[in-house]
Amino acid sequence: MAPSFDKVDTLSINTIRLLAVDATIKANSGHPGAPMGLAPVSHVLFNKFMTFNPKNPKFMNRDRFVLSNGHGCMLLYALLHLYGYDLSLDDLKNFRQLGSKTPGHPEAADTPGVEVTTGPLGQGVSNAVGLAIAEAHCAARFNKPGYELFNNYTYSIMGDGCVMEGVASEACSTAGHLQLGNLIVFYDDNHISIDGDTDQALTEDVLKRYEAYGWHTVWVKDGDHDLAGIAAAIEEAQSVKDKPSIIKVTTTIGFGSKLQGTHGVHGNPLKKDDAAGVKELFGFDPNESFVVPQEVYDLAAKQAAAGAAAEEAWNQLFAKYASDYPELAADLKLRIENKLPEGWEKSLPVYTTSDPAIASRKLSETVLNKICDVVPGLIGGSADLTGSNFTRWKTAVDFQPPSTGFGEYSGRYIRYGVREHSMGAIMNGLAAYGGLIPFGGTFLNFVSYAAGAVRLSALSDVRVIWVATHDSIGLGEDGPTHQPIETLAHFRALPNIMVWRPADGNETSAAYYKALTETHTPSILALSRQNLPQLEGSSIEKAIKGGYVLKEVENADVTIVSTGSEVYLSLEATQILESKGLKARLVSLPDWLTFDKQSEEYKLSVFPDGHPILSVEVMTTLGWQKYSHEQFGINRFGASGPYLQVYKKFGFTPEGIAERAEKTIEFWKGIPLRSPIRRAFTQVE
């Protein structure tokens, strides 16, 4: 039965508008225009269609809502408050204030009910694609006759800015191919961006583009008033099971304001006289602020209560399911609790020096083959580089619409195509859904294409794993266009992300151990194309500290610290130094973030006072100053050629490293040295 609407619905819509007006005025910043235009569609969606429980924002089968155009965040905050999430009227009054639950753009870690962190345009709708993939996969894996545990929708609102962003185009193309009928996106067609009328930059037929992607399209021409039309469009979209749907809703930005329909209401609070006029227009007292009529709360509470009842019914269904399907229920329970299967880590391979030299990308493949069947929540893929990244394990089944003949929705291997940026954003959505641990493969250099999504992974505290192969000039002939120089420095500078560059098999296993057990931190695993020997003295237990002494000597003249493929070269350099009567320690430092979290005592045991420290890495030297007195790296682009020749060209041979170590010893001779680890004060963390 189609929903009906009355004056309380209109009152609720106007209340949402005015909460946005009041909050942005009080903050003296923000975007009132989008919430004022989108209040009707958001009210219809939340009050008539969505299933959610504000008392348990993590209810597994809730409908997901993503505000992709995060500059309209007061729309979302107002809705969360009205429907009873842990967001008070005072929280709305503290919009954009330091330490509040209502930051300037939605942040999942700060605000109950916010599914993903959005703000950078295009990211949210791309996250929504990941959320929809997650539901389709979980439904295919866990649903059984009479037990429809997963049937939620993912809804998203995006604006013209998201439509213009390339990452959204990548992700929506993927969604169309995957036939995600559980994904419904509202396109806020208000014809305004920050610069003014979108006709200055966007004149294509957006619905035709999405039709070409394989989406079902609907147009609501009067999004300001036609509540029944909005509801009918949602019902139509829900009826289409083999395509995602985009509902173009033509709205008026800043509806009711003197500046409605202009970019002047996009990113600035309303003037006091304008705000007063809007309140009078909507039947509110112009002298009052943050007013919520009781009947608005009551209407919202009915929908929230229905959501709570839906969760209770789900819990009862799951209890019966556990009796009939105990193994699947146990798996799902672990996932909901964000736990890994007991003893999974015993599957991580362990190596000795008698094992052959192997490229760390192949070592990564071995780990995946060992753990993917043991950790069924892992869901992987590659940006069209499966044969180079070695990300597809032996028993993998592709995640594909069954109609394509390429796989099943129960499959756990995603063919992202040449879409690195959307792969990162989709993985953020997969991780945010719950119960899944996404990993994706590409070349390390091309993780830079996805930097926007990687940054949001770190900010969102989600467990996402990048399998980033071809990690250095060691990739050889492909040359400087593909050889990372600045990439590790960039991502090491990013807060809350582990950047692992393992030197051998044990360190690769350690990297995966940390990537899976650190539930609120994403990881980049930088992996070699060339073979690396198994190192004496390495172990998973040592490497999970992020850095450790691989070779210890007393009364050392120098410590060499290195990562990845340069560690074994540095080890050979220590032997050359020994032949000259010089004593050299060797430290492997596969992940800076993990090492920096160790105790001061441990860090000083790795990097002690009393002698110089030389860093060796075939990347920029930027950042190494916090661990070393001297740095040997590459502060220019690489070169094309066989990798051994390229390494030799830049001096990265045992002899070349030994030569730099000798110069380091000579330069610092007789100078009392303190460890670079020592600091006068602690950095803000």
The whole model's pTM is what? 0.98
Which two three-digit tokens encode residue 487? 């990439």
Residue 683 has pLDDT above 90, yes or no: no
User: Residue 528 and residue 354: Cα distance in Å, rounded?
Assistant: 20
What is the reported pLDDT for 69? 80
660, 567, 673: which is closest to 629 by C-alpha? Answer: 673
* 609 assigned binding-site residue: no
Pairing of strands 437-443, 245-250: unpaired
Residue 341 has pLDDT above 70, yes or no: yes
User: Residue 624 and residue 634: Cα distance in Å, rounded?
Assistant: 12
- Tens digits of per-residue pLDDT, 127-147? 999 999 999 999 999 999 999
Amino acid making up residue 127: N
Does the domain spanning 547-668 belong to CATH 3.30.70.20? Answer: no
In contact, 154 and 117? CB cutoff 8 Å: no
In contact, 137 and 433? CB cutoff 8 Å: no
* 482 assigned binding-site residue: yes
User: Residue 366 and residue 508: Cα distance in Å, rounded?
Assistant: 10
User: Residue 66 and residue 50: Cα distance in Å, rounded?
Assistant: 12
Residues annotated as catalytic (active site), given as ranges: 420
DSSP-derived secondary structure letter, 255: T
Q: Which fold has domain 344-526?
A: Rossmann fold (3.40.50)
Question: What dihedral angle (degrees, nearest 10) is formed by the CA atoms of 193, 196, 201, 204?
Answer: 70
User: Do the domains 7-309 and 344-526 sit in the same CATH topology, yes or no?
Assistant: yes
* 523 assigned binding-site residue: no
- Residue 285, burial from CB neighbour count under 10 angstroms (0-12, 13-18, 19+): exposed
* 478 assigned binding-site residue: yes
Choose between 546 and 680: higher pLDDT: 546
User: Residue 270 and residue 138: Cα distance in Å, rounded?
Assistant: 45
10 Å Cβ neighbour count for 539?
Answer: 15
What is the reported pLDDT for 365? 98
* 266 assigned binding-site residue: yes
- Residue 281, burial from CB neighbour count under 10 angstroms (0-12, 13-18, 19+): middle
* 160 assigned binding-site residue: yes
Residue 404: HSE in the Cβ half-sphere, 13 Å Cα cutoff: 14
Counting residues of the chain whose pLDDT is more than 90, the rounded percentage is: 98
* 520 assigned binding-site residue: no
For residues 602-627, average pLDDT: 98
Question: What dihedral angle (degrees, nearest 10) is formed by the CA atoms of 119, 120, 124, 129?
Answer: -170
Residue 71 has pLDDT above 80, yes or no: no
Residues 6+ apart with CB under 8 A from 602: 545
**H helices present in 290-435, as ranges:** 294-324, 326-336, 360-371, 386-389, 420-433
What is the reported pLDDT for 684? 65
Does the domain spanning 7-309 belong to CATH 3.40.50.970? Answer: yes
- Tens digits of per-residue pLDDT, 455-484? 999 999 999 999 999 999 999 999 999 999
- Tens digits of per-residue pLDDT, 481-535? 999 999 999 999 999 999 999 999 999 999 999 999 999 999 999 999 999 999 9
Counting residues of the chain whose pLDDT is more than 70, the rounded percentage is: 100
- Tens digits of per-residue pLDDT, 394-428? 999 999 999 999 999 999 999 999 999 999 999 99
What is the reported pLDDT for 467? 98
Which two three-digit tokens encode residue 681? 């004060």
* 192 assigned binding-site residue: yes
What is the reported pLDDT for 685? 66
Q: How confident is the model at residue 679 (pLDDT cuts 50, 70, 90)?
A: confident
**Average predicted confidence (pLDDT) for the chain:** 97
What is the reported pLDDT for 2? 87
SS3 assignment, position 337: coil
What is the reported pLDDT for 497? 98
- Tens digits of per-residue pLDDT, 216-259? 999 999 999 999 999 999 999 999 999 999 999 999 999 999 99
What is the reported pLDDT for 296? 98
User: Residue 61 and residue 82: Cα distance in Å, rounded?
Assistant: 21
What is the reported pLDDT for 660? 98
* 388 assigned binding-site residue: yes
For residues 540-566, average pLDDT: 98
What angle separates helix 166-177 from helix 123-142, to the nearest 10 degrees? 20
Residue 682 has pLDDT above 80, yes or no: no
What is the reported pLDDT for 681? 83
Domain boundaries, the chain: 7-309, 344-526, 547-668
* 190 assigned binding-site residue: yes
